Amino acid sequence: MDRRGFLRGFGSIACSAAAHPFLSTVTLAQGAPALGENRLIVVILRGAMDGLDVVQPRFDPAYAGLRPGLAASPALALGAGDWQMHGALEGLLPLWQAGELGFVHATSTPYRDKRSHFDGQDMLEAGTGADVPLGAVRDGWLNRMMQALPGVRAETAYAVGRDELKILSGVAEVRNWAPDQELALSAQGRLLLEHVAHDDPLFRDAVAEALALTQGGMMGMAEGGEAGGVAQLVDFVAGHLAGETRIAAFSLTGWDTHKGQGNALRRPLSRLQEVILRMKAQLGPQVWGRTALLAMTEFGRTARENGSAGTDHGTGGLMVAAGGAVKGGQVLGPWPGLGEGALYEGRDLMPTSDARAWAAHAMAQLYGLDRAVLEQAVFPGLRAEGAGGLIL
């Protein structure tokens, strides 16, 4: 089921970020000396992306039998051990060839068995292990990384969009924003509004930030149209990353392809492709060269096609990495195989690495975070092993 990805309903604003169901949140953290010049963009793919369809193991003898319908559609040869990429990502082939696009296959968070989107996303964003009850850790791993870096200016971290992005919630302050608000108040009205909200901290802080964000006129509106949401999102993020911002996070939805996946997966993949291509173009070669974009999803999908030409919630998934700071042109992660005994619970791709270990690897390479900090503060309980060679 495409829970959030379908442009639908009664809204009539097509170009507003707030009106785009697939665009939830952007979070930005402004630079600090400790961050240097490298940029990290984390994209949460909500709904569980079918990694087996995005990067297809055509070499695996069991593949075609498990997915007779999906395996029949044409895909793009990657020229690496007969991995093939989904046809909707054709625009990314040049990046693959240039070594700016890579993948980690059969990876997953420690989340297992209940296959709930909401719990799976909570665990992905909290960065916790199976030893911690869900919900027990309320902050997100990107926020904890900011806390671990000296000199991050928390007051200049903010999020753009509609809802909370848990990955960046926590002690380090984060702002939420969609670039279509104006707050048409007189100077006097602004002061009075602050006064009225003053005694209720929740309102005081929200109002103060809303006023600050509409004061400077920093919101560049992109062109409208259906694609306006992606363009607006990327232009906003890229504009800040080209300046002092070093870390950005946002989410893309629409990956929950329970039926008719042949068509249903094209839409979110096209959006992801547009995000990557436009990000590269807007950042320009110099900044793109110092950028790593990691797209992660809450879990993978069943190895078999289901009864409605789609796939159901599974376990092992796929991470997408793009950017000039990525060592692309490779599919990383030990391949578990798809044979009968190789599947997790006889139904899902077996995870062979912890997705958190790859995120930790990226942080270590980009920002020099040491292993103790990553294993204790950022991802408590993680053994940061088995992940490497993804970031230059």
Partner 1 sequence: MPDLAEIAAFRFAYGLPAAPGQAEAGALLAGLRGPDLMAQAWPAHGTAEILPHLRDFKAAREARKAAGEDAKAAKAATKAERRAVKATKALGLTAAQAGFARAIDSETPLRERLVAFWADHFTVTPRNRTQNAWPSALVEEAIRPTLTAPFATMLQAVVLHPAMLIYLDQVNSLGPNSRRGEKRGKGLNENLAREILELHTLGVGAAYTQDDVREMAELLTGLTFVPERGYAFDAARVEPGDDQVLGVTYGGEGVAPILRALTDLAVRPETARHLAGKLAVHFVSDAPDPALVAVVEAEWLRTGGDLAAVVAALLSQPAAWAQEAQKARQPFDFMVAALRALGVTGAQVMALPEQDFLALVLDPLAGMGQPWQMAPGPDGWKEEAEAWITPQGMAARIDWALAVPEKLMATLPEARGLVARALGSRAEAGLVWAVGASESQREAVGLVLASPAFNRR
Binds partner 1 by CB under 8 A, chosen from 74, 131, 199, 217? 199
Binds partner 1 by CB under 8 A, chosen from 59, 87, 94, 114? 114
CA atoms of 131 and 381, how far apart (whole Å): 8
In the range 138-167, which residues lie near partner 1 by CB under 8 A? 161-164
In the complex, the smallest distance separating the C-beta of residue 23 from partner 1, rounded to whole angstroms, is 12
The CA–CA distances, whole Å, from 133 to 23, 26, 28, 119 equal 29, 27, 28, 10
In the complex, the smallest distance separating the C-beta of residue 50 from partner 1, rounded to whole angstroms, is 15
Minimum CB distance to partner 1 smaller for 148 or for 197: 197
Minimum CB distance to partner 1 smaller for 12 or for 216: 12
Minimum CB distance to partner 1 smaller for 39 or for 175: 175
Q: Determine contact, residues 314/261, Cβ cutoff 8 Å.
A: no
For residues 168 to 197, the per-residue mask of contacts with partner 1, x marking binding by CB under 8 A and - elsewhere, is: -------xxxx-xxxxxxx-xx--xx-xxx
Residue 115 in contact with partner 1, rule: CB under 8 A: yes
Binds partner 1 by CB under 8 A, chosen from 146, 148, 210, 343? 210
Size of the site for partner 1 (CB under 8 A): 67
Pairing of strands 83-86, 55-57: antiparallel
In the range 307-366, which residues lie near partner 1 by CB under 8 A? 307-308, 310, 312-313, 345
In the range 121-140, which residues lie near partner 1 by CB under 8 A? 134
How many helices and strands in the chain, by DSSP H and E?
12, 12
Minimum CB distance to partner 1 smaller for 10 or for 131: 10
Total residues belonging to the chain: 392
Spell out a b/e string for 210-228, using b for 16 or more CB atoms within 10 Å of the CB, else e: bbebbeeeebeebeeeebb
Binds partner 1 by CB under 8 A, chosen from 59, 77, 118, 263? 118
Minimum CB distance to partner 1 smaller for 183 or for 281: 183
Angle at CA of residue 92, ends 90 and 97, nearest 5°: 110
In the range 10-29, which residues lie near partner 1 by CB under 8 A? 10-13, 16, 18-19, 21, 24
Minimum CB distance to partner 1 smaller for 153 or for 259: 259
CA atoms of 220 and 226, how far apart (whole Å): 17
At 221, list the tokens.
């509106």
Q: CB neighbours (10 Å) of residue 230? A: 22
Minimum CB distance to partner 1 smaller for 216 or for 307: 307
3-state class percentages of the chain: helix first, strand second, coil last, to nearest 5: 35, 20, 45
Residue 119 in contact with partner 1, rule: CB under 8 A: yes
The CA–CA distances, whole Å, from 295 to 76, 194, 197, 271, 290 equal 20, 38, 38, 12, 17
Residue 259 in contact with partner 1, rule: CB under 8 A: yes
Pairing of strands 245-253, 39-46: parallel
At 62, list the tokens.
């069991």
Binding site for partner 1 (CB under 8 A): 1-4, 6, 8-13, 16, 18-19, 21, 24, 113-119, 134, 161-164, 175-178, 180-186, 188-189, 192-193, 195-200, 202-203, 206-207, 209-210, 213-214, 253, 258-259, 306-308, 310, 312-313, 345
